[in-house]
């Protein structure tokens, strides 16, 4: 591929695509996770400075196509990408991974925000949070009848009725079973990322008959082309975008 692509990453699909692309592609990461050092494409790390910064980067680097393969809950960068592509006059294509769907016997409850989550959690005692770092800001508000387990990328000291586990997935079904058993989990809190690699925890909740509280997905912008499957995006790239 000879033309310039800007690939916005932060997901396993983005990394898989970056591994297929050469030096004419710039692979961009926010810098929160691991930065690979074995790619043939160029890697850059850190924010662009909002919509204008991203549009200026697209101009400066003569980018012809913007690829948004960021996480479904990373709404800010997806909105910035759509707007910056418009400003810079290049197409934006996005991978919009579908969310998980409950099975007939699943007890999944969607919540809009932290307040909704707090209300939905009230009847439970041993929640497992796998929804990122947000709960860490509320560790001082744990109700007296609850003990929280928060799993996120980096551990940090926790107050007495909490445990913060720093761990990077994916986690196997057996690892998830062992965690649920060890912490006596009675409810799971998760984003609805839709990724197969983070699905085993839902299977364990199902096996144990536990409810799952899912944070509602954010609205994402409509862009020139949207793909539900990485393979469809790869195939379209092979055909071209001009």
Q: Which residues sit at the interface with ligand NAP, rule CB under 6 A? A: 8-11, 28-30, 32, 47-50, 53-54, 70-71, 73-77, 80, 132, 191
Distance CA 135, CA 127 (A): 11
* DSSP state letters, 15-63: HHHHHH--TTEEEEE-SSS---S--SSEEEES--SHHHHHHHHHHHTT-
Residue with Cβ nearer ligand NAP (36 or 125): 36
Helix, strand, coil fractions of the chain, as percent rounded to 5 = 35, 20, 45
The H or E element containing residue 182 is: helix 173-183
Smallest distance from ligand NAP to CB 81, Å: 9
* Placement of tokens 């400066």 in the chain: 60
Residue with Cβ nearer ligand NAP (48 or 227): 48
Residue with Cβ nearer ligand NAP (47 or 123): 47
Backbone phi, then psi, for 206, in 5-degree steps? -65, -45
Smallest distance from ligand NAP to CB 31, Å: 7
Smallest distance from ligand NAP to CB 73, Å: 4
Smallest distance from ligand NAP to CB 84, Å: 9
Residue with Cβ nearer ligand NAP (47 or 166): 47
Residue with Cβ nearer ligand NAP (73 or 241): 73
Q: Dihedral (C-alpha) 136, 141, 147, 151: value to the nearest 10 degrees?
A: -10
Write the CB contacts of 77 (distance below 8 Å, at least 6 apart in sequence): 8, 10, 30, 68, 70
Smallest distance from ligand NAP to CB 111, Å: 15
């Amino acid at each position: 591929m000879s033309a310039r692509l800007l690939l916005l990453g932060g997901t396993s699909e983005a990394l898989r695509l970056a591994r297929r692309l050469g030096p004419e592609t710039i692979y961009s990461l926010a810098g929160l996770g691991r930065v690979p050092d074995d790619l043939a494409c160029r890697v850059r790390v850190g924010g662009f400075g909002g919509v204008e910064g991203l549009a200026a980067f697209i101009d400066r680097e003569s980018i012809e196509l913007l690829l948004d393969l960021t996480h479904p809950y990373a709404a800010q960068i997806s909105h910035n990408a759509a707007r910056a592509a418009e400003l810079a006059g290049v197409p934006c294509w996005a991978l919009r991974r579908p969310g998980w769907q409950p099975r007939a016997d699943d007890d999944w409850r969607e919540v809009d925000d932290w307040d909704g989550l707090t209300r939905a959690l009230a009847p439970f005692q041993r929640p497992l949070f796998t929804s990122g770092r947000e709960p860490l800001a509320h560790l001082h508000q744990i109700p007296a009848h609850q003990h929280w387990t928060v799993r996120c990328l980096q551990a940090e000291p926790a107050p007495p009725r909490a445990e913060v586990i720093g761990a990077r997935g994916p986690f196997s079904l057996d690892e998830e079973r062992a965690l649920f058993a060890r912490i006596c989990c009675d409810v799971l809190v998760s984003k609805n990322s839709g990724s197969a690699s983070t699905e085993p925890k839902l299977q364990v909740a199902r096996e144990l008959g536990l409810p799952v509280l899912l944070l509602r997905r954010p609205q994402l912008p409509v862009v020139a082309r949207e793909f539900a499957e990485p393979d469809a995006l790869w195939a379209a790239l092979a055909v071209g975008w001009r």
